[in-house]
């Protein structure tokens, strides 16, 4: 009796990632199972910011090449408009090579952001008090920003809640 336990071990782009656009999503299952039958009658749905994106269709097919454990979801048209997109793959859309295992309902989220990340120029007060933490959450330093920044060695820090790289 088939079981709904076949889930991808890798999704490209990664679930939850921020991208400029989405033309395809590649799903990879464990090579010991492979990808057998694809149920192309199942409708993969796409939602933008929580509402169904009826203008976007999604089709699943085997990925090109010799890898028998990869599938490709292709979006028509390519998703380029800023927003949070949720892709839902219905249960029993793909099976393993033996036809014994199939996928449960799968949900993946992608954020499309084409902004330049330049929202304006902010002038910071060099005398403002800042807290600097290591990436593992340990307090490294606290004090006037100008003084603290001079003391930091190369590395990645969390300064007032934002990730900062010191080179």
Q: What distance in Å separates the CA atoms of residue 36 and residue 69, rounded to the nearest whole number?
A: 8
pLDDT digits (tens, 9 = 90+) for 105-160: 999 999 999 886 555 555 567 778 888 888 888 888 998 888 888 888 888 888 88
Alpha-carbon distance of 71 to 7, in angstroms, equals: 12
Tens digits of residue pLDDT in 55-110: 999 999 999 888 899 999 999 999 999 999 999 999 999 999 999 999 999 999 99
137 CB-contact burial (10 Å; exposed 0-12 / middle 13-18 / buried 19+) = exposed
Contacts for 151-158 with beta carbons within 8 Å, 24 or more apart? 157/132, 157/133, 158/132, 158/133, 158/134
Residue carrying the six token digits 């992608």: 110
With respect to CATH, is domain 10-112 assigned 2.40.50.180?
Answer: no
The full set of domain ranges for the chain reads 10-112, 129-166
Average pLDDT over residues 27-41: 95
First to last CA, the chain: 57
pTM over 0.85: no
The alpha carbon dihedral of 58, 60, 64, 67 has a sign of positive
């Amino acid at each position: 009796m088939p079981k709904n336990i076949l889930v991808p071990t890798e999704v490209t782009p990664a679930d939850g990632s921020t991208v400029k656009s989405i033309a395809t999503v590649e799903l990879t299952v464990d090579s010991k199972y492979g990808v057998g039958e694809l149920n192309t009658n199942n409708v993969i749905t796409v939602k933008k910011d929580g509402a169904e994106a009826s203008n976007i269709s999604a089709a699943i097919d085997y990925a090109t090449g010799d890898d028998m454990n990869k599938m490709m979801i292709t979006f028509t048209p390519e998703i380029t408009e800023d927003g949070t997109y949720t892709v839902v793959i219905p249960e029993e859309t793909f099976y393993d090579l033996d036809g014994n295992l199939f996928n449960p309902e799968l949900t993946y989220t992608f954020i499309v952001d084409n902004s330049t990340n330049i929202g304006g120029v902010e002038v910071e007060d060099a005398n403002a008090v800042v807290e600097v933490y290591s990436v593992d959450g340990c307090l490294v330093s606290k004090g006037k920003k100008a003084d603290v920044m001079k003391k930091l060695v190369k590395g990645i820090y969390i300064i007032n809640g934002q990730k900062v790289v010191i080179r």
